Structure 1
Amino acid sequence: MPTTARTLPEAFSDLEPYVADWALPTRQERYDMRLSKSFDELAEFYDAIAPRAEEAIEYLNGLDMADLPEDATRLLRLLYSMILASYAVNVFLQPRIPDSGAAFFNTTAEPAV
């Protein structure tokens, strides 16, 4: 029987549909993804991840952050994306920052993990 590689820790398998789009390695990639999504897509993602955030944080706190397994790293990246999407969903009510026109920013530093 063939086995499928798990991309998230087993307890978070319900979040698998979001891995391809949101478990991105850099903040810039996550921000670009936010801008590429409709508000409804952002809200769906946020609504799926946010209720699991505390559980995910607790799970990750039990691991060595300097040596995270790949599945846990993807979970951490989903949390990073949730935080980025939260502004669009809860504050701006749109993917872009209101009244920012063509302005953009580049991230020059990433978290150590």
Structure 2
Amino acid sequence: MAQTFPPEFAALEPFADWAIPTERARYAKRIASTMEELDAFYSVAFPLLRDGTAYLEQVDMTEPEKLSEQDKHLLWAFCALVTVAFPVEAWRQPRVPDSGASSIDAVLEPAV
């Protein structure tokens, strides 16, 4: 069975579906998820953030096409963590409170 993430981050494997390359798709997944799903992902990913950041700081990202698939997935999973952090920590709901049907669209995605 192929690993989605580098071996040091095997705890994230059950959450491989959060390794999403675009902000719009990450936001859509957040909105479509329950708080229980957001909490489960957050509770595993957040404790790994410091080590994940240190790991990714050692990865050469100047040539994105040379990034390993595992490193890309790890980066995307931590981008997803940013997407779910505020709903988990503050709002306790996937949507922004009192925002109705509003949405935010990224005009430019990161290069990786």
**AA aligned opposite 1:15:** L
Give distance in 2, aligned partners of 1:62 and 1:102. Answer: 40
Report the secondary structure of 1:65's partner residue. Answer: coil
Listed one character per residue, the Cα deviations across residues 19-69 of structure 1 (whole Å, up to 9, x for unaligned) are 12x101100000000000111110111111000001011111111013321
Gaps of 5+ in 1: none
Q: How does 1:28-107 map to 2 (within 5 A)?
A: 28-66=24-62, 67-107=66-106
What do the CA deviations read for 1:75-96 (whole angstroms, capped 9, x no partner)?
0000000011001101211100
When normalised by structure 1's length, the TM-score is 0.92
Count of residue pairs brought into register by the alignment? 109
Gaps of 5+ in 2: none
Q: Give identity over the alignment, percent.
A: 37
Scaled by the length of structure 2, what TM-score is found?
0.92
Counterpart code for 1:105: I
Q: Distance in 2 between matches of 1:62 and 1:68?
A: 12
* Match in the other structure for 2:22: 26
